[in-house]
Amino acid sequence: MELLSSLEWYVGRAATEAPFGGVTATARPTRLMDARRALAEGKHEEALAAFERSIRDGKDGGLAHLGRALCLLHLGREDEAGLAIEEAGDDAGVAEVPLRLARICAVAGRPTDALRLVAVVLQAAPEMAPMVANDKRLTSLRDHPMFLQMVGQL
């Protein structure tokens, strides 16, 4: 549930603020705003279709993938949502998104989800390994062999 509420917060905030390259809500494509509106109204199928159109258009990269993930979680399609989160991490410049989610999962006691998200981060941006290794919000993962291997400390 923490992941779901975190995604809702992030997608809603990012669609109206400027977290990626200073693009503001007024410059964002209408599809993304339509998707966000449908999501806020609980129209998850409609929002999913709008996020998918935005992805096909090649606009809003990681944000559209995260919106899609959020819709899929609401629709009970967890496996597809996980893939959408990973795809968000594949877009250049959005390694921070799965890192934020990894921190949330780690603090919430969901190490499996956190480790999967850390893997996404480090696949997208291997140069972040030292920072990830020392991230205080990932402390609960520091003794895990998979985490140590991913950050190059094993």
- Classified as helix, coil or strand, 117 is helix
Mean pLDDT for 129-149 is 94
User: What are the pLDDT digits (tens) for 26-85?
Assistant: 444 467 788 888 888 889 999 999 888 888 887 666 678 878 888 888 888 878 887 787
**31 burial level (CB within 10 Å; 0-12, 13-18, 19+):** buried
- Residue 88 near residue 98 (C-beta atoms within 8 A): yes
Rounded Cα distance between 44 and 41, Å, is 8
- Residue 65 near residue 71 (C-beta atoms within 8 A): no
**101 burial level (CB within 10 Å; 0-12, 13-18, 19+):** buried
